[in-house]
Amino acid sequence: MQAIKLIINKYSSQLLYLVFGVLTTIVNIAVFGLGIKVGISTTVSNVLAWFLSVLVAYLTNRVWVFGSQATEISEKIREVVTFFYYRGLTLILDLAIIFVGVNLLHGQPIIWKIIDNVVVIILNYVLSKVFIFKSNKM
């Protein structure tokens, strides 16, 4: 039992990122799937899913994953702008994966969205840790 507590304490940031990453992924895939179901293109559905999931990710990551200590409005603005900027960079990768998987390879959109999310989540964690919430705890 003590070993489990040590592991949880040591990797609490990563575990919380995983928990909130699952929530964000559910939002992302659900919005994407709903968009396709109502007849919206994969690209537009993907961008809508991206925006809503990034908003959820920012709110959860800021407080519970990286424990942001930003209190000044300028710090908070820098944080949110930087967060959306780097997520925007991974959106380009996201769009490319969906385009190749769905449009070129004619795969199932939801399957490619899941593959896409795995790649993007890993990259987003690294970018958040290194560039966005870098002065905060791991």
pLDDT for 13 equals: 81
pLDDT for 135 equals: 56
- Side chain identity, residue 69: Q
- The answer to whether the CB of 129 falls within 8 A of the CB of 138 is yes
pLDDT for 138 equals: 41
Which residue ranges of the chain lie beneath pLDDT 70? 135-138
DSSP string, 43-98: HHHHHHHHHHHHHHHHHHIIIIIS-----SHHHHHHHHHHHHHHHHHHHHHHHHHH
